[in-house]
Structures are given as C-alpha cells and as structure tokens.
Amino acid sequence: MLTLIGAAFLIASVTLYLALPIVALFFRTTPELFFSSLNDPEVIAALTLSLVTSVISLAVVIVIGTPFAYVHCRSQYPGKVVVDTLIDLPLVLPPAVAGVALLVLYGRAGLVGKYASLLGVPIAFTTLAVIMAQIFVASPFYLRQAKSIFDQLDPAYEQTARTLGAGPVRVFLRVVVPMTAGGLVSGAVMTFGRALGEFGATIMFAGNLPGVTQTMPLAVYVNMSGNFNVGLTISILLVLISFAIMIAVRLLAIKEVSHA
C-alpha cells in the first residue's frame, strides 16, 4: 500500500511540475484579451516571420538532409565518426554560442561574411540569418532521426530494387523514402518545432528587428517588459503549436508501430 502511495505521489509531483507552468499561462489571460492581442500587428508580424522562416528552414533541412543522412548511413568513409559528432554538436551547444559562431563566420567582418558583404549580400541581421540560425540549431533533430531510420532499413530492399533495374535515384525515391516516410515526417515535425522555438542563436546572429528578424520567441522576450499581454498571447500560441507538434509526433509513432 505504501509503495502504491509513493508511486502515485511521484507520478503526480512530476506531472504537476511539468504541467503547472503551462496551465498557469492560460489562467493569466482571458479569452477576450487573448483574441484582441492576436490582432496586434507585432503578434501578426512575429507569427508570420516565425512560420515562414521555420517552413523554409524545414524545407532546406529535408531536401539536403535526407539524401545526406542516407549516403552517410550507407557509406563507409574516413572521418565518419567526426561527421557523426558534428551532426550532434548543435544539440549540446548553447544556442547563444551557436549564434556567436555563426556571427564570427558570416558577420560583416567574418571569414565568409566579408566577401558576402562585398557582393552586396549581407547575411548577419537579416531574415536569411534567422533561417541559417534555425537550420544550424534544428537540423540535428531531423538528421539524427533520418540516420536512425535509414540504419534500420534492411539493405535487401534497395539491393532487390537495383537487381530489378532501378538506378540509385529511383531506388531512393521509390523504395527508401516511402518505406521510411513515417520516421522522416516525425523528425521533420520535431525540427519544425525546434526551429519555431529558436531564440539564442537568432538573437545573437540575426538581431531583433520587428518584421525582419523578430520571431515569436524574440517577441515574447521584448514584450515581457513592455506589453505583457502581447507576450502572453504569443507564449500561448507557441504552447498550442508545441502541443499540436507533440500530438502529430505521437500519432505518427502509433502509425509506425502499427505498420511494423
């Protein structure tokens, strides 16, 4: 009986610790305040910028990351372990440090940035910088998932397809991608969520220019000391989007299991 009470207490306390701050957000506002703040131009601008940049970042990560992860999994090459480590590095690197690193490389005086500036294409403190920061910080979520799912795929499927006359590209598009789609989509959803919530690298590398580089998390930060209701509304929006993402991942995971 004591064990049962102990277990219930443990589960309840952990759940409450995680859930209460989220619930508190919803109790701090009213539906009227929430919906009126939704029409605030700053909220609309931040929401639009966040969604547009996150979608672009995700598209870049999928288009480049999928074939990269596949080739990486199926090839043996010197330095593969180093590449593996580099893929994971942004996960443990503080985002602010990632932002500084990007600034040092692509800033106006940076190794690459100075040439880009000479060509009239400044990178730092532009919307492009927001996208680059999101890609840098969020891509490991997709790459790790893609690597794991490709590793689990029996090479006999690809080998069979090749003996049937299909070239490598056709094998990849018609066999590998459809067979791993569930896992890839769940990685993509997590990547989108991470890109949407990106703060540290963005503020260091892209700055905080409303309508240009001010994404939703940055707008929350700015409005906390000014227009608290706007900050609260954006926070609630981010919570709702995060919930939607987690539900999508859960549903995809269930679908994966039922396919297995």
Binding to other proteins (CB under 8 A) within 178-207 occurs at 178-179
Of 97, 121, 164, 247, the one binding other proteins (CB under 8 A) is 164
Tokens 């919906």 sit at which residue? 35
Q: How far is the CB of 166 from other proteins (least distance, A)?
A: 4
Provide the 10 A C-beta neighbour count for residue 69. 24
Task: Provide the CB-side half-sphere exposure for 39 (13 A, CA).
Answer: 4
Residue 42 near residue 223, CB atoms below 8 Å: yes
**Which amino acid belongs to residue 134?**
Q
Nearer to other proteins, 167 or 226 (CB): 167
Binding residue count for other proteins, defined by CB under 8 A: 18
Provide the 10 A C-beta neighbour count for residue 206. 30
For position 255 contacting other proteins by CB under 8 A, the verdict is no
What lies within 8 Å, CB to CB, of 227 at 6+ separation is 40, 42
For position 156 contacting other proteins by CB under 8 A, the verdict is yes
Nearer to other proteins, 73 or 166 (CB): 166
Nearer to other proteins, 15 or 160 (CB): 160
* Helical packing angle, 228-259 and 177-196, nearest 10°: 160
Of 154, 169, 225, 226, the one binding other proteins (CB under 8 A) is 154
Of 98, 161, 230, 236, the one binding other proteins (CB under 8 A) is 161
Question: Which chain residues interact with other proteins by CB under 8 A?
Answer: 154, 156-157, 159-167, 170, 174-175, 178-179, 259
